[in-house]
Structure 1
């Protein structure tokens, strides 16, 4: 008997990789489209049921199947023991299916070339899993749990990429509003998931999520793929900024990082750089939430921290900051220690030393100049504080 918790865990794990899963009943007709409507989109509705039957007619128990169809879509399939159900996971591709590839393969796949734009939209929603072994290991581990041991089942690979087939109709089918809506919903669901992760500072989820990013996931609004990717980076920068703001980050920090990424986006001249920038943006905003989310601080301490970090060269004595916040120095001191775990002076010194370290690592400015940028005019005192904080002198940190 199938353990429902184990099955649920497997499905959630696959969904993290953006893999659709479905439990298909074998004892009744089904309207489920394992190909997410691809054949219907191409006007191959009569092929829909044969496609499902082809997946299941020769399927054996105690077997994990990896099936690749003539449209280069891959699936994992297995019959669940003691139930009239089969688990189907997919589709996914093992490579980035580009418009150029579709045109080159149009004759082999018997698809008229003018179908390519709609096909590009379809493949854009599919996860690209080039390294299949980790995914296969997931299914073999599930098989061991399901059937007791690795000797109790087998794995079979079925390649149906080039069978003799009838051609796709020459005319493009009428517009399919439902399929177009599904593609749009996929894209918006992806963006909403991303915004939720960032707003909560869930860096572990973000790391796994960004591994699946490809250029095909973004809607093509212009012919130039680089311009299209830059446009999406701009959109993403805006969405991530709003997500981080929702996560409690003050606009002061958001404006800095948003402006920086806006400048970098305009320097993108190829897709590789753009695809590297996108996950970097996501991680940066997520870290910003983790670092600057004000949820754990009272409004008074949050404002004090913002004053300190916004300008380290200003008068940052306890008395000066307390006066600016209209608080008594003793009250601010006690509140600051309670909420941050550090005295007011310790926190200010820490921020100045961290800023000095960044400048030493990223610029060629003289140590005396860096000390001034950190709000410490006396370079000897700066060096003394730096060594106390990091265990080495400023000059040694550059070596």
Structure 2
């Protein structure tokens, strides 16, 4: 499997919160396969035991693996030579119908009761999914045809119950703390991604966060999810504000989502709303962020945005903002790469598109609504930016002819 195929499979699985690793000689990263669980539970755990067990897997077979901690993996073995194996492992994850029994896990692995909180946090960090092996199998069938796979099933126990392992007593909360820190770090990165308008990264991080199952604060799971969605709405709003998007843009979006969250009736509906919120807030940043502009240029852009009908010439804006006209003109050109006049005309034409596409207002009235009171001049600058006349644009949008 080449690097591009691997990246595609990794993205598919990570969208469901599932990690994937490739292990090759000398297998120095084998402790990654269980997110460091065994290393945290046992003193000097030898991960070569894992590699030894994986050697029993047949080449070009896909295996669903259950281990002694009740978690699942999907594994594929490829061999160029008998002693040079490459292992691809997806996991760990939980199956919906087989949530681990904590008492059984503690007894089976000769652990102590104080390990329960650590294990619980570990399980809470894992995605609960179904039939991931079919996803992997289908991917190889369609994208990696040089490795024809056969599906197989086996249970690997990696030897924990067959030898006396020394339980790690000191720092027993280290794994728990690490998992909590991971969750908080992912949450911070999510808010940073929204602030940057990076929709793809934000959605991937939201999927990663979604695999954590935080201890319930109430018995009403829907109410809890609804409260969480309301909280995300507030946090996204603040992130966009940090990107210097004008509050007028933010408030309209935030209020609309708050109303929709309030009238939602199912957890599935709320999950869809969360993804929609990410996309909408990221688009706000992409469209209206003034983070890279000075205060004076940002003030001009906001003034033009909300006062498009006013006579927005250089002198008028300089007077409104109490700044020297020559300085304003030069600073605006340096930061935006265009003249103030060109920018104002472009914004006016952009706003006129809405009226032309959604109303039957005469062209002269549309021009007046965006601050241009000469229909001929409006038509000239409209054609400059849109490469067609206002009437041609309206006709193209709706196939209508204006008389």
Task: Provide the TM-score with structure 2 as the length reference.
Answer: 0.64
Which runs of structure 2 are paired with 1:328-343 in the superposition (5 Å)? 328-329=324-325, 332=328, 336=332, 339=336, 341=338, 343=342
Q: What is the root-mean-square deviation in Å for CA atoms of aligned residues? A: 5.5
Please report how far the alpha carbon of residue 276 of structure 1 lies from its aligned counterpart in structure 2 after TM superposition: 0.5
Report what 2:18 is aligned to: 19
- Say whether 1:157 aligns with 2:155: no
Report what 2:393 is aligned to: 391
Does the residue aligned with 1:19 lie in a helix, a strand or coil?
coil
- Say whether 1:302 aligns with 2:298: yes
Mean CA deviation greater in 21-30 or 295-304: 21-30
Q: Find the aligned partners of 1:136 and 1:246 in 2 and give their Cα distance.
A: 44
Contact in 2 for aligned 1:14/1:20 (Cα 8 Å)? no
Q: Find the aligned partners of 1:373 and 1:129 in 2 and give their Cα distance.
A: 59
Mean CA deviation greater in 279-288 or 338-347: 338-347
Report what 1:236 is aligned to: 232
Which runs of structure 2 are paired with 1:372-387 in the superposition (5 Å)? 374=369
Report what 1:89 is aligned to: 90
Write out per-residue CA displacement over residues 262-320 of structure 1, whole angstroms, 9 at most, x where no aligned residue: 33322222101100010111111211221122245443332111112234455545443
Q: Find the aligned partners of 1:394 and 1:377 in 2 and give their Cα distance.
A: 23
Report what 1:169 is aligned to: none
Q: Which residue of 187, 192, 198 maps to 1:191?
A: 187
Contact in 2 for aligned 1:80/1:87 (Cα 8 Å)? no
Report what 1:177 is aligned to: 173
Q: Find the aligned partners of 1:29 and 1:209 in 2 and give their Cα distance.
A: 27
Does the residue aligned with 2:62 lie in a helix, a strand or coil?
strand
Please report how far the alpha carbon of residue 257 of structure 1 lies from its aligned counterpart in structure 2 after TM superposition: 2.8
Q: Find the aligned partners of 1:390 and 1:332 in 2 and give their Cα distance.
A: 36
Change (3 A) 1:354 1:240: farther
Contact in 1 for aligned 2:189/2:205 (Cα 8 Å)? no
Q: Find the aligned partners of 1:132 and 1:30 in 2 and give their Cα distance.
A: 23
Aligned pairs, number: 363
Write out per-residue CA displacement over residues 110-149 of structure 1, whole angstroms, 9 at most, x where no aligned residue: 999xx99x769725532647665553455578977xxxx4
Q: Find the aligned partners of 2:329 and 2:29 in 1 and give their Cα distance.
A: 68
Please report how far the alpha carbon of residue 90 of structure 1 lies from its aligned counterpart in structure 2 after TM superposition: 0.9
- Say whether 1:270 aligns with 2:266: yes
Report what 2:220 is aligned to: 224
Report what 2:72 is aligned to: 73
- Structure 1 unmatched ranges of 5 or more: 167-173
Which runs of structure 2 are paired with 1:338-357 in the superposition (5 Å)? 339=336, 341=338, 343-354=342-353, 356=355
Write out per-residue CA displacement over residues 164-222 of structure 1, whole angstroms, 9 at most, x where no aligned residue: xx9xxxxxxx9963343243233223213322322332233345555667586555332
- Structure 2 unmatched ranges of 5 or more: 108-115, 162-168, 383-388
Which runs of structure 2 are paired with 1:241-252 in the superposition (5 Å)? 241-252=237-248
Q: Which residue of 275, 287, 295 maps to 1:291?
A: 287
Q: Find the aligned partners of 1:88 and 1:395 in 2 and give their Cα distance.
A: 51
Change (3 A) 1:278 1:351: same
Q: Find the aligned partners of 1:111 and 1:216 in 2 and give their Cα distance.
A: 22
